[in-house]
A and B are shown apart, each in its own frame.
Chain A
């Protein structure tokens, strides 16, 4: 309990610091802009976007399930990365020790292109074959792919849920299809979509 309290306190403190950073960045941008220093204003606004992406990432992490099937979330490996670039912002959470994880990439032009691929059946996107099929998770069309078996003979899956310019990828190793689907359905996708889009 003590550990959780410390973690929540750190998270709260970090968010508070970032909120101040955002306001400072916008204030800096305003002052540079009013004095005609456009390049400086530009830099401050880019910083502000990174602050937003960091805050959004931490908010999304709060929404992700604590467990994937029987695997607990490894919260110490939680990671949020903000880039003002083509990579976009990334949010990462891993579960257990089998390499199972959730990876969210948002605000990336690369993802927009990737999502176009995912939506084209003739190039192997939203189609069905022996290893891939299209499923609906809370109304969102998604691509479920079986990626072989692990060393215990249990199947590994990857589920990709594309949004406008974001992509949620769930890697679920050593789980059957029903468990993957039930885990995916336990993620509050609408709330996450509202944050990352």
Chain B
């Protein structure tokens, strides 16, 4: 197994320089073409069309491969019917079709998670720290695997450069890692100058707030045994502003909705 991981890692590392070379060669080619076109334009007085456009067209049509020019896309389908899935599970189980029964229960789980996610999204505030919600970025993700059951995301944005994203997740693995952080007091000590991670409390819940110059503020609140709420705040003035944003949410309600204590 170690060898497999090592070999895969090596192959990825080896492929990186090749990728870099290809990008570099492409850029050089573009620059050379532009320079030649300029010289030709000056001599003939006729403007040469951009080589990039013609190249991309010829690349797209090469090998007579048709290019998609439009389509209606995919229709939104309703989440699985929970009652029907539970009926199917019962029937399959009594026929000893265990694989089918398992699949039906998984479908019921997905249906419930999607509904739960939508309910939670409805209960979230419309505005946070003056930022209105952007419902086009609402997201509810449910997977059939228990280790990452559900992710609910809502974005608040001024459509310019200030944004707050809240992600509510039911994830035993990550929640366990975050909880272990609170058990290690040494982990929160800073070097005395740059305290970029520290413990805080949000509505009585232990939390971790961190700051990264490129990503902005992140606030993580583990909820119950296996869930957590994460705020990612970009271009917020200071941590007080982040805390105010977090306090606009009712964590007890989120906890209750997720069935956490």
Q: Taking beta carbons and an 8 Å cutoff, which residues of A are in contact with B?
A: 19, 22-23, 26, 29-30, 33, 38-43, 45-46, 48-49, 52-53, 55-56, 59, 83-86, 107, 109, 117, 122-125, 194-197
Residue of B nearest to A83 (CB): B146
Nearest A residue to B107 by beta-carbon distance? A45
Number of A-B contacts (CB under 8 A): 92
In this assembly, does B89 line the interface, its C-beta being within 8 Å of a C-beta of chain A?
Answer: yes
A-B contact pairs, 27 of them (CB 8 A): A22-B93, A22-B101, A23-B90, A38-B115, A39-B116, A39-B257, A39-B259, A41-B112, A42-B109, A42-B112, A42-B113, A42-B116, A49-B105, A52-B102, A55-B98, A56-B102, A84-B146, A85-B147, A86-B145, A86-B146, A86-B147, A86-B173, A122-B7, A122-B11, A124-B3, A124-B7, A125-B4
Docked pose: A122 CA to B3 CA in angstroms: 11
Q: Mark B78-91, 1 if CB is under 8 A from A, else 0.
A: 00001100100110
Q: Which residues of B contact A53 (CB under 8 A)?
A: 102
Query: Beyond A22-B93, A23-B93, A86-B145: 11 further Cβ-contacts under 8 Å?
Result: A26-B90, A26-B93, A33-B82, A42-B112, A43-B259, A46-B109, A52-B105, A53-B102, A117-B4, A122-B7, A196-B99
Closest chain A residue to B146, Cβ basis: A84
- B146 x A85 contact (CB < 8 A): yes
Interface string of B141-162 (1 = CB under 8 A from A): 0000111000000000000000
CA distance A85 to B101 in the complex (A): 18
A43 to B105, CA, bound (A): 12
A125, chain B: closest CB distance, angstroms = 7
Residues of A within 8 Å of B90, CB to CB, are 23, 26
The answer to whether B35 has its CB under 8 Å from any CB of chain A is no
Q: Does B119 sit at the interface, judged by CB under 8 A?
A: yes
Set of chain B residues within 8 Å of A196, measured between Cβ atoms: 99
Q: Interface on chain B toward A: helix, strand, loop, or mixed SS?
A: helix
State in angstroms the CA–CA spacing of A196 and B102 once bound together.
10
Given contacts A52-B93, A123-B8, contact A45 B105 (CB under 8 A): yes
Chain B interface (Cβ within 8 Å of chain A)? 3-4, 7-8, 11, 82-83, 86, 89-90, 93, 98-99, 101-102, 105-106, 108-109, 112-113, 115-116, 119, 145-147, 172-173, 257-260
Q: How far is the CB of B5 from chain A (nearest CB, A)?
A: 8
What separation, in Å, do the CA atoms of A41 and B86 have in the docked complex?
A: 11
Contact across chains for A45 and B116 when beta carbons are under 8 A apart: no
A84 CA / B145 CA spacing, docked (Å) = 7
Given contacts A84-B146, A85-B146, A86-B173, contact A48 B105 (CB under 8 A): yes
CA distance A85 to B170 in the complex (A): 12
A46 vs B82: C-alpha distance when bound (angstroms) = 14
In this complex, what residue of A is CB-closest to B258?
A39
